[in-house]
Structure 1
Amino acid sequence: MGHIAVAEFLGYETTLHYGSMNYDNSEISSLLDSIYIENQYAIENDLDFEERTVFERDMEKFYADDFLVLMGGPVQTILTGMLGLIILIFRRHRIRRSGLKIADWLAVFLSLFWLREVFNLLHSILLGFIYREEGYFGGDERYISEFLDLHPGVVPVILGFIGLGLSMYVIFKIIPRRFQLIFILSGIIGGVGGFLLWFEVLGPVLIP
């Protein structure tokens, strides 16, 4: 939904699927293709041609919009996690006095959106080992690194470790000790089970 929000804001039509989203940039893509076909030699040899200004402007927009849509997912995750974390920090003294209320548990849920960054990192590394891929990083975070001309692992690793640190703070400093073990165990079981249930059973049926 973070990707979709950005794409819709930029004026593109979007489609939501159970594990991805698409946005229709075919209009600008077709325009760029037609200009390229007509001026291929000039473009490849950095020569002037009649539509060079239009081509360069639209190419810049094409890549800029693609990057912004790509950023939408991780940014939404980070903002959601930070919102929950800020609420918990402001309410931490009340939590210590009176325990976690419903609003506090909701803030815990929001703050642990940071675990997505941890999961993305571990999931991509695990798949890299299993399938013997050249790279061990994937997802939006990897593509952001590549957009910024960084090593593919820079953004995934940084966000993964930040997410791990903040999640551990919430679990071990905010959640009462008597709930920590059951919270961790139920989180692992529910997280893995929910992932498999959605991606293998429900998702393909409800949102193909």
Structure 2
Amino acid sequence: MLEKFINFKIEFKLLLLLIIVFIFTTIIGTVSHECGHFIGAKIIGFNAKVHYGYTSIIYDGDLRGKDQFDRFVFTLGGPVQTMFTGTAGLMLLFVFKKSNPVSSINLKQWFFIFLSLFWLRQTANFATWIIGYLVNDKLSLRGDEIKLAQYLQLPLWSIILPTALVGCIVAIIVIFKFVPLHQRFTFVVAGLIGGFSGYILWLEIFGKMIMP
């Protein structure tokens, strides 16, 4: 039954290539997310600087005080950029979808696949939020989605949970509708290895040196 949906066979050459792509996608996704915060800062008239895993506000004598709305716009910029990119990737996948059942995909379609998976940042954020609760026995108040919910006086889960579910749905659509059957398991394994490796390599090691 499962063979209709996934073939538990790994193509090792493809696995290595996809791991590398997932690593770079994780890095690009992180930096572009911070660029979203940078744009948010510019919209409200603030100077900002993008770092390896966060964006800082640069205060000077010409800047007005930062109020609740300013914080909201600045915080919103990151998730909006991430979700917009993921949505654009998914839409392009449907636009350029082959009419025949998928057996192979070209480079352009692979590019759209990785763009659409920007949505998985939302799912990963929710997973780490829940893991943090299980480990520390309290919910973290950090994270863009949590802060946005607080600004809007909504329950802490009200933004992070729905967007995480959308991320899951997007991933399921991408994997089972666009990734060829014989490459699906390889793709999933590469995503787990590459995503985690990209996180460690960028946020814990090289990012601090390249974009301190």
TM-score between the two structures when normalised by the length of structure 1: 0.79
Q: Give the number of the structure whose alpha-carbon radius of gyration is greater.
A: 1
Mapping 1:46-125, distance limit 5 Å: 62-94=67-99, 96=101, 99-125=104-130
The answer to whether the 8 Å contact 2:102/2:179 transfers is no
Q: CA RMSD in A?
A: 1.8
The answer (yes or no) to whether the contact 1:129–1:136 under 8 Å persists in 2 is no
SS of equivalent to 2:97: helix
Distance 1:13 1:153 in 2: 30
- CA offset at residue 64 of structure 1? 1.6
Counterpart amino acid of residue 53 in structure 2: G
Q: Please give the alpha-carbon distance, in whole angstroms, between the structure 2 residues aligned to 1:206 and 1:4.
A: 18
Give CA deviations for 1:80-107 in whole Å, capped at 9, x if unaligned. 0010000111122347467311111100
Letter in 2 for 1:204: K
C-alpha distance in 2 between matches for 1:202 and 1:77: 22
Q: Of 50, 55, 64, which residue of structure 2 is paired with 1:28?
A: 64
CA deviation after TM superposition for structure 1 residue 152, in Å: 0.5
Please, which runs of 5 or more residues in structure 2 have no aligned partner? Answer: 1-34
**SS of the residue 2:155 aligns to:** coil
The farther-off stretch of 76-85 and 17-26 is 17-26
Contact 2:102 2:178 in 1 (8 A): no
Cα deviations by residue, 1:133-192 (Å, 9 ceiling, x for unpaired)? x21564100111111111111100010011101111101111111110000001100000
> Secondary structure in 2 aligned to 1:15?
strand
The answer (yes or no) to whether the contact 1:125–1:137 under 8 Å persists in 2 is no
More helix by share: 1
Q: Is the 8 A contact 1:141 1:156 kept in 2?
A: yes
3-state SS of paired residue (1:150): coil
Residues 183 and 97 of structure 1, relative CA distance in 2, 3 Å threshold: closer
Deviation larger for 146-155 or 61-70: 61-70
- Output the TM-score relative to the length of structure 2: 0.77
- Which residue, out of 179, 184, 187, partners 1:183? 187
Residue matched to 2:205: 201
1:57 maps to none
Match of 1:152 among 156, 164, 174: 156
Of the structure 1 ranges 63-72 and 184-193, higher mean CA displacement relative to structure 2 is found in 63-72
Percentage of identical aligned residues: 31
Amino acid at match of 1:131: N
Determine if contact 2:38/2:48 at 8 Å carries over to the other structure.
yes
Matched AA of 2:68: Y
Aligned length: 176
Matched, 1:143 2:177: no
Note the C-alpha offset of 1:9.
Answer: 3.1
Q: Is the 8 A contact 1:118 1:163 kept in 2?
A: yes
